[in-house]
Amino acid sequence: MSASPEGFRSLSAAEFFYRNREIAGFSNPTRALYQTVRELVENALDAADTHGILPVVKVYVERVRGDVGYYRVTVEDNGIGIPPQYVPQAFGQVLFSSKYVLRQSRGMFGLGAKMAILYGQMTTGLPVEVVSSPARHYRIHYYKILIDVKENKPIILEHKSWRKSGSWHGTIVSTTVEGDWSRARSYIYDYIRGTAVVAPYADIFFQDPDGNIVRFPRSISKMPPPPRKVKPHPHGVDIEQLKMLISASKATNLYDFLVESFQAIGPKSARSFLEWAGLVDPENPDDKGIDPHKMKRGELEYLARKLKEYSGFKAPRTDPLSPLGEEIIVAGLKKVYEPDFVAAVTRRPRAYSGHPFIVEAAVAYGGRIKSSDEPMLIRYANKIPLLMDMKSDVSWKVVDPKRFDWRNYLVSFPAPLLVLVHVCSTKVPFRGVGKESIADVPELESEIRNAVREVARRLRRFLSRKRREEELKQRIDTFLKYVPEVARSLSVIMGGDGEKELRRMLLEVIRRHVGLPEHEARSLEEKLGRLGDKR
C-alpha cells in the first residue's frame, strides 16, 4: 500500500484481519488451535454435503515442536475439490470465497481458512500446504502458499501436479499453528462430537497429538437436501446491495430491474409496489419507471427504504436453506448419547428482515447425558456447533431454567436433560465474526421457544409414562413383600396346606388390583422369586 508523507495509508484486507484477528476467533493459542480445526472442518463439510456428497472427513492434530507448542492441523475431505487455478487465492487471499451467494453454507465470510493460515504464518512462519483435485479432473495439484499480508495476495512457494490414477476427489489442507493443546483439547473434542451429532451421515475420524483416535462412523445415509442459490428478497437489501444489483443488471427501467433481480417480485407485485411507492404514474400502464442506473444516492435510499416497508411481497423462499430434519437429528443424538428418550422437530420457515430461517430443536433424556442442575444445551448455526459464549446466546435465554418452567414438563433438576437448537439461515444473526453466539432477534427467539416447547411436550408424555410406571412398580413391590408371609400364615390356619396355591391366588388378586394384563402374571411370579431370593 502506498504511504503518504503525512503517514496516511490504507490497510489491505489481509492486514486488517491480521491486526484484528481476535474478531475472527484467533485471540490466543487455545482459541486459535480450536478455531483452526473448526475452519478447516467446516470447509471440508461444505465441500461435501452442500454438493450432495456423503462426507468422509479425517482430522489430524500433530505435535510438531512440543517445546514451543507448534501443532500441525491436517484435514482431508472427499468433497468437490478446488479448481487448481483458484487454489492460491482460496488459501492466500483474504475475502476470496466461492460462497458469496445466497444459500446456506457453513462458511460465508471468505475468511476462515485464511485466518488459520495467517495465524500459522505469523506464529510459526510456516506456509500452508494444499493437495486438491476436483471430480472428473485428471490431475492432482499440490501447493505450498504464504500470504503476502501487505498486498493481500498469495505467494506460491511451490506448485506441482501429477496424474491421477484413481477417481479420488477432494482436498487435504495442512497448516501449522502455535497452539495450546492441553487447553484446546476439550473444545476440540466437543466440536468433533457436536459435529458428529448433526452429521450422522458423515464419517468422521480424528487423531489427537497423543495418538488417541476417535471415529464416528456414518450411521445414516440420508443427507439433508443440498441448498439452492436464490436471488435476494426485497426486505433484506440495503443501499449498497441495491447498487451492486443495479450494476449487475441490464434493465433500463425499474419495473424490469425489480422483476429480474429479486425473488418474491413478479410482474403484478412489481407494478403494485411501484405505484404504492409513487415511482410510476398509476394512470399510465406503460410507465415502467426510470432507468435504475441513473438513480442518485437519495433516490436509491428511497427505493431501498420502500422495498423494506412494502408488505405486499411474498415471504422469502426457503430453498436456499438446508435444515437437518427430524430423522437425522434423532439418529445423531442416538449415536452419540444413547438416550432413553429423544424427540426432534423442524419448524416451518420464517423470516426476519427479509432473511429466511428455520429453527430445529430436540430434547434427549437419560442415557449417556450427565445429570446436571441445568439443561445441557448444544447449539448449532447452519450445522456448525457453537461452543463458546453460550450464556449470551438467544437459545440459552429460552431454555434457562430461571426463565423456562421445566417443571411444567415434569423435569426436575438435577436431570440428564439435553436440549439441541439448530438455526439455519442465509444470514444467521451472529454476535461478532467469531460466530459463537446468536443475537436475540425477536422472530428467532419466539420460534426457538415454540420449537423447544413442542419437543418438551413430547418429553413430558415420556416422563409421565415413566413416572406412572415407577409408581406402579413401587406399589407392586410393596404388595409383593406381603405375599409370602400372608400365604404362609393362611396356610397354617388352614392346616398347613396349599401355601403354593395361596401364593398364586394372592398374585392374581394383586395383578387385577394394579391392572396388569394377564400375560404379565408370570413377570409377577418371577419378581416374587427374586424378592424372595434377596431375603
Which residues are at the interface with ligand ADP (CB under 6 A)?
Answer: 39, 43-44, 47, 77, 79-80, 82, 90, 97-99, 107-114, 171
Out of ligand ADP, Mg ion, none, what residue 456 binds, judged by CB under 5 to 8 A for its kind, is none
Beta strands in 257-374 (DSSP E): 341-346, 350-352, 355-365
In this complex, which beta carbon is closest to ligand ADP, that of residue 107 or of residue 366? 107
Q: Does 112 bind Mg ion (CB under 5 A)?
A: yes
In this complex, which beta carbon is closest to Mg ion, that of residue 112 or of residue 236? 112
In this complex, which beta carbon is closest to ligand ADP, that of residue 59 or of residue 237? 59
Minimum separation from the CB atom of position 114 to Mg ion (A): 9
Of 83-91, 103-111, 318-326, 506-514, the segment contacting Mg ion by CB under 5 A is 103-111
In this complex, which beta carbon is closest to ligand ADP, that of residue 141 or of residue 511? 141
Minimum separation from the CB atom of position 33 to ligand ADP (A): 17
In this complex, which beta carbon is closest to ligand ADP, that of residue 205 or of residue 341? 205
Out of Mg ion, ligand ADP, none, what residue 219 binds, judged by CB under 5 to 8 A for its kind, is none
Q: Which residue has the cell 430461517?
A: 357
In this complex, which beta carbon is closest to ligand ADP, that of residue 183 or of residue 431? 431
Q: Does 434 bind Mg ion (CB under 5 A)?
A: no
Options 25, 55, 107, 375; binder of Mg ion; rule CB under 5 A: 107
- Residue 79, SS3 per DSSP: coil
What distance in Å separates the CA atoms of residue 110 and residue 95, rounded to the nearest whole number? 4
8 A C-beta contact, residue 102 and residue 229:
yes
Out of Mg ion, ligand ADP, none, what residue 109 binds, judged by CB under 5 to 8 A for its kind, is ligand ADP
Out of Mg ion, ligand ADP, none, what residue 394 binds, judged by CB under 5 to 8 A for its kind, is none
Q: Does 36 bind Mg ion (CB under 5 A)?
A: no
Q: Going by DSSP bridges, is the β-strand pair 384-386/70-77 parallel, antiparallel, or unpaired?
A: unpaired
What distance in Å separates the CA atoms of residue 29 and residue 23, rounded to the nearest whole number? 14
Closest CA to 113 of 26, 229, 16: 26
Out of Mg ion, ligand ADP, none, what residue 90 binds, judged by CB under 5 to 8 A for its kind, is ligand ADP
Q: Which residue has the cell 433484506?
A: 236
The identity of residue 25, as a single letter, is G
Q: How many CB atoms lie within 10 A of CB 310?
A: 17
Minimum separation from the CB atom of position 343 to ligand ADP (A): 33
What is the size of the binding site for Mg ion (CB under 5 A)?
3
Cα–chain-centroid distance for residue 74? 22
Q: How many CB atoms lie within 10 A of CB 238?
A: 15
Backbone angles phi, psi at 389, to 5 degrees: 50, 40
What distance in Å separates the CA atoms of residue 256 and residue 292, rounded to the nearest whole number? 10
Out of Mg ion, ligand ADP, none, what residue 98 binds, judged by CB under 5 to 8 A for its kind, is ligand ADP
Minimum separation from the CB atom of position 202 to ligand ADP (A): 13
Pick left, alpha or beta for residue 83 (phi over 0 → left; psi -120 to 50 → alpha; otherwise beta): beta
Out of ligand ADP, Mg ion, none, what residue 425 binds, judged by CB under 5 to 8 A for its kind, is none
Closest CA to 225 of 347, 381, 52, 424: 52
Minimum separation from the CB atom of position 408 to Mg ion (A): 41
| Cα 148-152-158 angle, rounded to 5 deg | 45
Q: Does 429 bind Mg ion (CB under 5 A)?
A: no
Out of Mg ion, ligand ADP, none, what residue 77 binds, judged by CB under 5 to 8 A for its kind, is ligand ADP
Minimum separation from the CB atom of position 39 to ligand ADP (A): 6
Q: Going by DSSP bridges, is the β-strand pair 203-207/56-65 parallel, antiparallel, or unpaired?
A: parallel
Q: Does 354 bind Mg ion (CB under 5 A)?
A: no
Q: Does 339 bind Mg ion (CB under 5 A)?
A: no
User: What is the total residue count of the chain?
Assistant: 535
* Whole-Å CA distances, 66 to 63, 116, 209: 6, 19, 10
In this complex, which beta carbon is closest to ligand ADP, that of residue 116 or of residue 361? 116
In this complex, which beta carbon is closest to ligand ADP, that of residue 82 or of residue 279? 82
Minimum separation from the CB atom of position 107 to Mg ion (A): 3
Residues 6+ apart with CB under 8 A from 366: 339, 340, 341, 416
Q: Does 104 bind Mg ion (CB under 5 A)?
A: no
Minimum separation from the CB atom of position 46 to ligand ADP (A): 6
In this complex, which beta carbon is closest to ligand ADP, that of residue 89 or of residue 123? 89
In this complex, which beta carbon is closest to ligand ADP, that of residue 130 or of residue 333? 130
Q: Which residue in the shown chain puts its C-beta closest to ligand ADP?
A: 107
In this complex, which beta carbon is closest to ligand ADP, that of residue 113 or of residue 502? 113
8 A C-beta contact, residue 75 and residue 47:
no
C-alpha cell at 53: 456428497
* Whole-Å CA distances, 73 to 26, 34, 133, 183: 15, 10, 20, 16
Q: Which residues face 56 on adjacent strands?
A: 203
Q: Which residues bind Mg ion (CB under 5 A)?
A: 43, 107, 112
